[in-house]
Amino acid sequence: MIHFLEKDMGFPAVSEASEEGLLAAGGDLSPERLLVAYRSGIFPWYEAGQPILWWSPDPRMVLFIKDFKVSKSLKKTIRKKTFSVTFNQDFEAVINHCAAVKRDGQQGTWITQEMKDAYLQLHKKGDAISFEVWEDGQLVGGGYGVALPEKKIFCGESMFSLVSDASKVGFFHLVQKYKAEAFALIDCQVYTRHLESLGAQEIPRNEFLEYLNF
């Protein structure tokens, strides 16, 4: 049974999600609701023309900071210093690139204009973070997500790369940033082979919720 959200900010218990992880539909993408969602182990994902859909999959893909794997080739690329990495220098450009990049198995993008506007608002409030990867002064990679510093968790949303290894180098610097800030993990949401190659793993949703102090 899918729950339909009203004006209040509450969500049903994540244990009521479907086998695929779908929990609820409707509501809005206000900064307040988005933060309630992320702090509850829930995130929005939907395509244009659909109502807002809210998910809490089980198992959950996460990267424990201590388990991050750096391949020999990535170490070599980092040492070359071909790329420079910044944080929160051009959030809007990053999310626009993430929306535009073509991905295997997807015909369109789930990063609709409504989503862009919502996360830009979160960014202006200091809750959504971007990293930018530059080569010769040009933006060639990056990503964004939602930081929960009180939980020591960063919720990754999307990355893009216009040249080989750009997003990997950016992600390396993101991990180093949150390692220095004593974060426990990066929420990757759902399994991909690429994330697994970086050290991410699937854990039971209940275990993930323990990190959110539920």
CATH for 3-58 (3.30.1050.10, 3.30.43.10, 1.10.3720.10, 3.30.70.3550): 3.30.70.3550
- How confident is residue 98, by pLDDT bands cut at 50, 70 and 90? very high
- Give 122's DSSP letter: H
pLDDT at residue 91 greater than cutoff 70: yes
| Tokens coding 108 | 């369109």
If you average pLDDT over residues 6-30, what whole number do you get? 93
Residue-level pLDDT at 104: 58
- Condensed to tens digits (0 to 9), the pLDDT of residues 176-205 reads 999 999 999 999 999 999 899 999 999 999
pLDDT at residue 66 greater than cutoff 70: yes
* Rg of the chain taking only CA atoms, in angstroms: 17
- 3 state SS of 33: helix
Report which secondary-structure segment, H or E, holds 183: none
- How confident is residue 158, by pLDDT bands cut at 50, 70 and 90? very high
Distance CA 37, CA 159 (A): 21
Each domain of the chain, given as residue ranges in start order, spans 3-58, 61-211
From the list 24, 87, 82, the residue with the least C-alpha distance to 56 is 24
Q: Which fold has domain 61-211?
A: Aminopeptidase (3.40.630)
Is 61-211 in the same CATH topology as 3-58?
A: no
Q: Which residue has the higher pLDDT, 47 or 176?
A: 176
Strands 60-64 and 43-44: what pairing? unpaired
Residue-level pLDDT at 214: 55
Q: How many residues does the chain have?
A: 214
Task: Work out the burial of residue 12: count CB atoms within 10 Å of its CB; fewer than 13 is exposed, 13-18 middle, 19 or more buried.
Answer: middle
- How confident is residue 1, by pLDDT bands cut at 50, 70 and 90? confident
If you average pLDDT over residues 30-53, what whole number do you get? 95
pLDDT at residue 169 greater than cutoff 90: yes
β-bridge mates for residue 143, sequence order: 131, 159
If you average pLDDT over residues 155-166, what whole number do you get? 96
pLDDT at residue 106 greater than cutoff 80: no
- 3 state SS of 172: helix
pLDDT cut 70: percent of the chain above it: 96
- How confident is residue 38, by pLDDT bands cut at 50, 70 and 90? very high
> Which residues of the chain form beta strands (DSSP E)?
3-5, 22-26, 43-44, 53-55, 60-64, 84-87, 128-135, 138-148, 153-161, 185-189, 201-203
Does the pTM surpass 0.85? The reply is yes
If you average pLDDT over residues 74-92, what whole number do you get? 97
- How confident is residue 101, by pLDDT bands cut at 50, 70 and 90? confident
